[in-house]
């Protein structure tokens, strides 16, 4: 997370490579992605996406979203859930 204010209203997730060769890809999500408590962002098992749950300014969870760690694009999850995100592997 990267913050631009002393409080939580302008905090953005950032994907930074493990080798640290860049400042990373900043994710611009419309809304607050990190509130006073408990934001939850999980990498996919194959590292292709991040599943997250934004928290609004009042501390309420929002709709889960997918983040593309290469482009920074966000997309709403195709299901309705405000619980903590988790990945599950599917059998072939």
Nearest 10 degrees: Cα torsion 28, 10, 83, 42: 60
Q: What is the pLDDT of residues 5-52, one digit of tens each?
A: 777 667 777 888 888 788 888 887 655 655 555 557 888 988 899 888
CA angle 49, 40, 90 (to 5 degrees): 45
pLDDT at 7: 72
Q: First-to-last CA distance in the chain? A: 35
Mean pLDDT of 63-91: 82
pTM equals 0.70
pLDDT at 80: 83
pLDDT at 20: 78
pLDDT at 8: 65
């Amino acid at each position: 997370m990267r913050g631009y204010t002393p409080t939580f209203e302008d905090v953005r997730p950032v994907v930074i490579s493990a080798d640290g060769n860049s400042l990373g890809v900043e994710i611009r999500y419309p809304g607050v992605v990190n509130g006073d408590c408990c934001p939850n962002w999980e990498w996919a098992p194959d590292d292709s996406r991040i599943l997250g749950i934004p928290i609004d300014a009042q501390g309420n969870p929002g709709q889960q979203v997918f983040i593309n760690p290469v482009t920074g694009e966000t997309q709403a999850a195709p299901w309705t859930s405000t619980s903590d995100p988790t990945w599950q592997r599917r059998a072939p």
